[in-house]
Structures are given as C-alpha cells and as structure tokens.
Amino acid sequence: ETGVTQSPTHLIKTRGQQVTLRCSSQSGHNTVSWYQQALGQGPQFIFQYYREEENGRGNFPPRFSGLQFPNYSSELNVNALELDDSALYLCASSPQGASTDTQYFGPGTRLTVL
Amino acid sequence: GQSLEQPSEVTAVEGAIVQINCTYQTSGFYGLSWYQQHDGGAPTFLSYNALDGLEETGRFSSFLSRSDSYGYLLLQELQMKDSASYFCAVRDRTGRRALTFGSGTRLQVQP
C-alpha cells in the first residue's frame, strides 16, 4: 500500500508569484485535507476535498484554492504569494467510512517566499 | 471557536515516564487525537479517544475526560527516539474529518 506522497519537496518563490503543490492520496482514501504549518506551530487546516468537491474550509483567503481529481490526487494553488505564506504545506488523506479522525499525512512541501 | 492548550516544552530522561496534557474548547466534540512529529517529518497518528478513559497502545497511553475537556498522552519507558513534537487535535469546527491542532509540545529526551 502506497502512502501519501507530495511534490515538490522544497520550493522557493518570490512575493506575488503563484504556486501549485501536488498530493497523491493513500490508496483507497477518498478524502484529502490540506494544512499549513508555520515553524514551531501546529498544522492549520486550509480546506478539504471529498469526491472532487470542497468539503470544508478553514480561515484562509480565496487566493488559496484547490482541486481533487477522479483518482483522488489533489492540488493546492496559492496566488499572489506573500512572505507569510512561507511554511510547510501538508496534505493528509483519510479513508472512506473511517470511524476515527485519523489522518495520514504526506511528508510535506517546504515553501519559501522571498 | 476552537482552541487547544498544551505545554510548549517538556524534558525527561531515558527510561522515565512523561505526561503531556491538553485542554480544549470546541463546539461539537467528537474525539481527541494525538500526533507525533519528528523534526523535518510528517505528523503521524498515535491515538484517538472518543470516550472517557484510558487507551493503551504499547508504551503510549492516552486519556480523556470529556466533562473536564481534558486529555493527556502518557509515554512510558522513554527512548531517545521519542524526542519529537506532540500535538493534540480535535475535529475542525466545520464538522468534517479535518483537524484543529494545538501548538504542540516539544519533548526532549536526555540520556
């Protein structure tokens, strides 16, 4: 069983640019959530996708958007990058019908905005 | 809103027992989760409590008191590899299977 994978591992962008981060869910998982983790903080929920529809959103502006594809892989897009967007971006998948809140995290993409 | 409070740092020695506390405020409680994250790594699931009481998984145990909005993670027979950050988390207010995390407790295990 393949775990959650993310690409790229690291990325450097400049302020105002746009970025797309990618995630492949664990096999059999149809729900994917994205989190932003600043240094020394806990992950913060950005949004969640279920069956290709946005299924909940945290306190992030509209310039954070996403997609989920029929194979349950997912993208996170961030427009008009700001310095404060520098963080570790984590995606997490969870299986259909899970009885717990267990999330399976990918290794993350470290984004640096200069 | 939702908030979780946990100590920022804890230090202990190899072989000891350490308890990491977590208090939470949330609208609509489903359960309390614990995750471990090593430096540079991804959070990994440790345990989940939906009901009051103690859940034991090997050297790790987790406790929940719903009436006190309080839980803790107990780590026994500490090993150097247990040095990591530990996060408690509750389901996000949207009610979906997404999580709101605490700020994390950094555990340093010393020889």
pLDDT digits (tens, 9 = 90+) for B70-94: 999 999 999 999 999 999 999 876 6
Contacts of B99 in chain A (CB under 8 A): 33, 43, 45, 101, 103
Identify the pLDDT of residue A91. Answer: 96
Identify the pLDDT of residue A56. Answer: 87
Phi/psi of residue B15, nearest 5 degrees? 90, -15
**Given a cut of 70, is residue B39 above it in pLDDT?**
yes
pLDDT tens per residue across span A61-103: 999 999 999 988 999 999 999 999 999 999 999 887 666 678 8
pLDDT band at B27 (very low <50, low <70, confident <90, very high): confident
Identify the pLDDT of residue B43. Answer: 95
Phi/psi of residue A83, nearest 5 degrees? -55, -40
Identify the pLDDT of residue B2. Answer: 82
> Mean per-residue pLDDT for A43-71?
92
* Cα–Cα distance list, A37 to A42, B18, B49, B84 (Å): 6, 25, 24, 15
For residue A33, how far is the Cα from the chain centroid? 6
Identify the pLDDT of residue A2. Answer: 64
CB B100, CB B89: distance < 8 Å:
yes
Q: SS3 for A85?
A: helix
Q: What is chain B's length?
A: 111
**Given a cut of 60, is residue B107 above it in pLDDT?**
yes
Identify the pLDDT of residue A9. Answer: 96
Interface test with B, best of A45, A93, A99 (most B CBs within 10 A): A45
Of A87, A93, A92, the C-alpha closest to A109 is A87
Interface test with B, best of A36, A37, A101, A103 (most B CBs within 10 A): A101
Please measure the distance between the N-terminal and C-terminal CA atoms of chain B and give it in whole angstroms: 41
**Given a cut of 90, is residue A51 above it in pLDDT?**
no
> Mean per-residue pLDDT for A40-53?
92
Q: SS3 for A52?
A: coil
Q: SS3 for A88?
A: strand
**Cα–Cα distance between B76 and B17 in angstroms, integer?**
4
CB B78, CB B109: distance < 8 Å:
yes
Mean pLDDT of chain A: 92
Q: SS3 for A55?
A: strand
Mean pLDDT of chain B: 93
> Mean per-residue pLDDT for B32-42?
94
**Given a cut of 60, is residue A1 above it in pLDDT?**
no
Whether residue A93 lies within 8 A of chain B, CB to CB, comes out as no
- Name the minimum distance, in Å, from the CA of A59 to any CA of chain B: 11
**Token output for A62:** 């509209």
- Name the minimum distance, in Å, from the CA of B41 to any CA of chain A: 6
